[in-house]
Amino acid sequence: MQEATEKHLDAAVLLDDTPEVAMDAAQMPWSITALLSAAVRHAPVHGGVTVGARGSHHRVEVSVSDTGIGMSAA
């Protein structure tokens, strides 16, 4: 992602031992790309983006976070 390079973002990937799971092979890459794009867009210059995955009992939870200001409380 060019924007991530231009912002000099740090990237981290945190993976726990994840089980093999069935998924929608077309939808999953789109979903991860959308989450990463939003994280990069909202991270400040010299900020960071972290992608994580952890699993248990045939389920995997994927997370994407950034060092931006976050969402305001409703």
pLDDT score for 74: 67
Whether 41 is covered by a domain: the verdict is yes
**CA 52 to each of CA 6, 13, 30, 72: distance values in angstroms, whole numbers, following the listed order:** 23, 6, 16, 23
State how far the Cα of 23 lies from the Cα of 35, in Å rounded to an integer: 17
Whether 25 is covered by a domain: the verdict is yes
Number of independent structural domains in the chain? 1
Whether 71 is covered by a domain: the verdict is no
State how far the Cα of 69 lies from the Cα of 42, in Å rounded to an integer: 8
Domain interval for residue 7: 2-66
Whether 39 is covered by a domain: the verdict is yes
The enclosing H or E element of 28 equals helix 27-42
Q: What is the pTM for the complete model shown? A: 0.80
Whether 73 is covered by a domain: the verdict is no
pLDDT in tens, the chain (74 residues): 788 899 999 999 998 888 888 888 889 889 999 999 999 999 999 999 999 999 877 788 889 999 998 877 66
Do the Cβ atoms of 66 and 39 come closer than 8 Å? yes
